[in-house]
């Protein structure tokens, strides 16, 4: 496993070593010891989640607040997505900046999204199975989010806006400037 830093402190891209042969392929998707040695972070993942989405489905940008903040390690099991982490740490030098990456079932890259970030993804393939590990349990009263098309963040979601499908909840998220903290 190779771990690469991004320009946003605490946000990492994980690239597995993939072994291919005539039978198919094998890779180790996560190794806590290697992750900790390379990043210097001790993260205890306690919940795994999975979603299945069709093309154009945008899930995000979500986060939890207070003692229920979550770090996430995300990956695509099948298909392709554009995955995005937005730094919402007010004291960070990269506050309101985002990192995006294509995750798919060919590169098998993963993105580590630290606490204090909003996270979201859009499905670029006909469908995608998306999996993620969290270091804290989901807590409905602590859930929050920001609008996917916030002009202060200016994310290029790679699809025409007419193709984007949002949940009713995600249509009503605030812009960063309107967040109550």
DSSP type of residue 57: B
Q: For residue 29, what are its two tokens? A: 């998707």
Instruction: Give 3-state DSSP helix, strand, coil % of the chain, rounded to 5.
Output: 15, 40, 45
CA atoms of 121 and 95, how far apart (whole Å): 19
List the catalytic residue out of 98, 119, 132, 148: 132
123's tokens: 């499905």
Residue 70 near residue 64, CB atoms below 8 Å: yes
The reply to whether 62 belongs to the active site is yes
98 assigned to active site = no
Contact between residue 39 and residue 113 where contact means Cβ atoms under 8 Å apart: no
**Residue among 62, 98, 119, 148 flagged as catalytic:** 62
Active site residues: 62, 132
């Amino acid at each position: 496993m190779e771990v690469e830093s991004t320009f946003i402190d605490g946000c990492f891209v994980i690239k597995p070593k993939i072994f291919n042969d005539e039978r198919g392929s094998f890779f180790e998707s996560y190794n806590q010891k290697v992750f900790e040695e390379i990043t210097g972070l001790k993260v205890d993942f306690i919940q795994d989640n999975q979603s299945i989405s069709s093309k154009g489905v945008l899930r995000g940008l979500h986060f939890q607040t207070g003692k229920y903040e979550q770090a996430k390690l995300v990956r695509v099991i099948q298909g392709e997505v554009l995955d995005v982490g937005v730094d919402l740490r007010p004291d960070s030098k990269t506050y309101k900046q985002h990192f995006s990456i294509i995750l798919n079932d060919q590169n098998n890259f993963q993105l580590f999204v630290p606490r204090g970030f909003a996270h979201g993804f859009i499905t670029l393939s006909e469908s995608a199975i998306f999996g993620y590990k969290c270091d804290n349990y989901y807590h409905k009263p602590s859930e929050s989010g920001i609008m996917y098309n916030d002009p202060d963040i200016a994310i290029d979601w790679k699809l025409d806006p007419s193709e984007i499908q949002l949940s009713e909840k995600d249509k009503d998220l605030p812009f960063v400037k309107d967040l109550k903290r």
